[in-house]
Amino acid sequence: MPAPKNFRTAFNGFHREDVVNHIAYMTTKHEAQVKELREENNALQTELSQLRGQMDQDAADRSRIPSLEQTIADRDAELSALREELETANQLLNEQAAQMAALREELEEAKNAIRQLGLQLEKVHHFPVDGADHAVIILRKVAPTPAQYPRRYAKIKQMPL
């Protein structure tokens, strides 16, 4: 086995200078390792502080979770109520649209009947009764009534104007 570089063999003894040099070398090496370990320790301490800060922030965020979940549940309930209200409004709108279509059809039938009977619209008087709008329609006779009119009730039901 070869002898270490700075020492002589055990048979010949040690030189003081070799031992001092070896101790100085080992001290320098040790100080470099200590410095490196201190720097690593400082970096790890900084990282630990950052992680603790994140952990505190995460804990604060986690403490807000129940109130946020409650807020979400409240908003979901409001949304469900609004959807139901919207559905009801859509149904009402569809019903009113159907009524409007029926009224338009009835109005067209009335216009056709007025024209066939030789009448002309002269004036419409509107007046409220118990909060409802009522009207009196005044028609002027401008042409003779066709010979096919007046008709019997059964004929009116079979073939309305």
In the chain (161 residues long), the average pLDDT of successive 10-residue segments reads 50 73 93 96 94 89 88 94 95 95 92 88 90 90 80 76 64
Which residue, among 30, 4, 32, has the nearest Cα to 18 in the 3D structure? Answer: 4
pLDDT of residue 42: 95
pLDDT of residue 38: 95
pLDDT of residue 143: 87
pLDDT of residue 5: 54
Collapsed DSSP state (helix, strand, coil) of residue 124: strand
Structure tokens at 72: 């979400």
Residue 132 phi, psi dihedral angles, 5° rounding? -105, 145
Structure tokens at 132: 């409802």
- 67-91 in b/e form (b: 16+ CB < 10 A) is eeeeeeeeeeeeeeeeeeeeeeeee
pLDDT of residue 70: 92
